[in-house]
Structures are given as C-alpha cells and as structure tokens.
Amino acid sequence: MIVLGIESSCDETGVAVVKNERKILANVIASSLKLHSRHGGVVPEIASRMQLESIAGIFTEAMQIAKIKPAQIDLVAVTTHPGLPGSLITGIAFAKALALSLGKPILGVNHIHSHIYANLLYPEKIKLPAVALVVSGGHTSLFYLKDFSKIQVLGQTRDDACGEAFDKVAKIMGLGYPGGPLIEKIARGGNEHKIKFACWGNTELDFSFSGIKTAVLYYLKDKKPGSKLLKDLAASFQESAVNVLVKKSLLACKRKKVKHLLIGGGVAANGVLRQKLMASAKAAGINCFFPNIDLCMDNAAMVAGLGGYLYKRGARNDFKN
Ligand code: KG4
Ligand code: ZN
C-alpha cells in the first residue's frame, strides 16, 4: 500500500510517500523557521501563509522523488491535531482535495502519536507493548502503547513543554530560536554541575518545566555573564531537563513492566538525552529506540507510516465531507 502523508501542524510543510507502512520513498519538508527566528518563536500567520504558498510544489517534488504518479496513491493520511489551527487547515484542505480528486480514502492522524511511530520507519525489531516519551516544542508526554490504536497517557507536562523550555531559556540567554540546538551547542564543554536546577516531582509521571525556566531567568538577573558562565548555565539547564526525562521514562517502564522504550519529537534530537537515556535504559535492561535526527523533527513520513498502519488495521474516520 502506498500512502501519501501530509504534515502542517506548526511551521513545517511536509509531504511524504511511504510504502507498506515502513519504507520511505520520499520525505520532503520545507520550514519557515528562518522567518520566525527574529521573533523568538513561531508566528502562526507567517507559518500558515508559507504553507499555503508551498504545499502544491512540495507535493509535486515528493511525487518526483518517489517516482510515482498520483493515481498510484492508495491512501492520503494527514495530521489533524494537535497543532496551530491556521497551519493544520492548509494540510487538511489539500489532503481532502487530493483524496477527492483521486477517489482515494483519507485518514486523519494524531501528530503526537506519529512522533512515536517515527521509530517504526527503521528495520529495527520493535515489540509492543512499550512505553513512549514524546518530547517536543508543544508536548512532553509519556504513553503506554499496547498498539497504535490503544495509546494510554501516563503523564504529561503541567505547564511548559520541554522543547518550549529550551526555546524560552535560549531566548532569556539571548541565543535565538529554536533554542534546543543552540543550547546544546553552547553547552558543549560547559560544566553541567556548576548550577543546580531542580525539576519538579520525582515520583510523578507528569512533568513541569516552567520552574526551571524561571530559575534561569532569576539566576541571570543583575548578572553580566561571560561566555564561560553562559556555557555552564546552558550545560546545567540541559543536564536537569535531560535527567528528569531519563528518570521518568525509566520509572514509567518499571511501573508498566515493559522492556521497550520509544522516544520521539524534536528534543529527541538532543545528543545528551540520546546518550544518557540509551546508557540508563541499557543498565536497567530496557531496549531504548530513537528515530534518526531528521525523523525526530516534524515530518510527513511519520504521518504516512502511521496512517498506513492504522488504516490496514481497520481505522476509518469520516473525514471526506
Ligand atoms: O517535534 P518538533 O519538531 O515540533 C513540535 O511538534 O513541537 O520539536 C521542536 C522542538 C523545539 O522546541 C526545539 O527547540 C526542540 O524541539 N529541539 C531540541 C533540539 N532540536 C530541536 N531541543 C533540545 N535539543 C536539541 N538538539
Ligand atoms: Zn512535532
């Protein structure tokens, strides 16, 4: 089965073609990130305008890369939620028009669940049930997966998402946007034990990241930090955020008695998180999986993959009218 996936939940416009749920034939993504960086965050109007202008061209490019004709598409899968309304609607309208014109079915897909599915776009042997951690700019959630149609929320953030905290701390430090990669970069060589930042709740599976962001703000108040202190600050913040993600992911595995842990979302691109979680999971006898960096970020291949997987197992949503 050939599935065309469409993703437009935030600043990206993605179109992908995935065959038989796991083989990526094309995965084209355009981002309006540069246009947002001077504003310190995504401006919804700028994102949706660019998506409207670019989606048709990105679709054509995906067809060319996949070397298929539109008539060969068996299913159109599109992100329906959660996301910026003005951005989602562009992808949904395009998907509906395409499915209607081709006479093919359409399936709406949950963006957060598709971040977990990104792990299945590799030849790894992933067994369910598993615990999944989705850690992105908009979400920080732990899930228990019996399969992709039975996903139970174990914990989620009570305030800022982890990626959002990286973005806000980077803004406070004057680094720019998006904050995650910039913090990771300047944290290299910094002393991660220099400043102690506590992240909330040791026994809960919920998260809270707004306190640590505020702690960074107060730490910098009335200081003119040199580059060494900024390095240490970035490293210390990153260390605390990563530690809480590692601790709670392993706690969730222990509570649910599972041996498979799937990670997804933009923050999963963080090298320190990848290395620490891999090592701690291994020590606890848990198999931990991360997508490649490009599939951690928003993309349409994960949407096409999950759409195909769910459709094959009977999922339908009356989405045509
Ligand atoms: O999944 P994603 O592309 O979009 C959402 O669904 O939100 O995630 C974007 C988020 C941003 O907050 C960005 O700062 C963060 O992922 N991010 C990182 C890294 N790369 C991206 N956070 C920490 N370290 C990174 N290397
Ligand atoms: Zn995302």
List the one residue out of 99, 1, 2, 5 whose CA is nearest residue 304: 5
Please, which pLDDT band fits residue 223 given cuts at 50, 70 and 90?
Answer: confident
Q: Which residues contact ligand 1 via a Cβ below 6 A?
A: 10, 136-138, 163-164, 166-167, 178-181, 184, 265-267, 269-270, 297-298
pLDDT mean over 278-284: 98
Question: Yes or no: is domain 2-117+296-312 CATH 3.90.1170.40?
Answer: no
User: What is the share, in percent, of the chain residues with pLDDT greater than 70?
Assistant: 97
CA nearest ligand 1 atom 21, residue: 266
pLDDT mean over 2-27: 96
Give per-residue pLDDT as tens, 69-116.
Answer: 999 999 999 999 999 999 999 999 999 999 999 999 999 999 999 999
CA nearest ligand 1 atom 10, residue: 137
Cite the beta strand spans of the chain per DSSP E. 2-7, 12-19, 23-31, 75-81, 106-110, 130-135, 140-147, 150-156, 260-264, 287-289
What pLDDT sits at residue 318?
A: 67
Mutation test of ligand 1: which of 88, 113, 141, 166 has the most ligand atoms closer than 8 Å to its C-beta?
166
Mutation test of ligand 1: which of 160, 175, 267 has the most ligand atoms closer than 8 Å to its C-beta?
267
Q: Where in the chain is the domain with CATH 3.30.420.40?
A: 2-117+296-312, 126-290
Please, which pLDDT band fits residue 266 given cuts at 50, 70 and 90?
Answer: very high
Please, which pLDDT band fits residue 320 given cuts at 50, 70 and 90?
Answer: low
CA nearest ligand 1 atom 16, residue: 266
Please, which pLDDT band fits residue 321 given cuts at 50, 70 and 90?
Answer: very low
Counting atoms of ligand 1 from 1, which one is nearest the CA of 12? Answer: 3
**What is the Å distance from ligand 1's center to 74 Cα?**
32
- Angle 271-283/227-256 helices, nearest 10 degrees? 40
Counting atoms of ligand 1 from 1, which one is nearest the CA of 179? Answer: 14
Q: pTM, whole model, 2 decimals?
A: 0.94
Mean pLDDT computed over every residue of the chain = 93
**What is the Å distance from ligand 2's center to 244 Cα?**
20
List the one residue out of 128, 134, 231 whose CA is nearest residue 175: 231
Give per-residue pLDDT as tens, 160-211.
Answer: 999 999 999 999 999 988 899 999 999 999 999 999 887 776 678 999 999 9
**What is the Å distance from ligand 1's center to 213 Cα?**
16
Superfamily (CATH H level) for 126-290: ATPase, nucleotide binding domain (3.30.420.40)
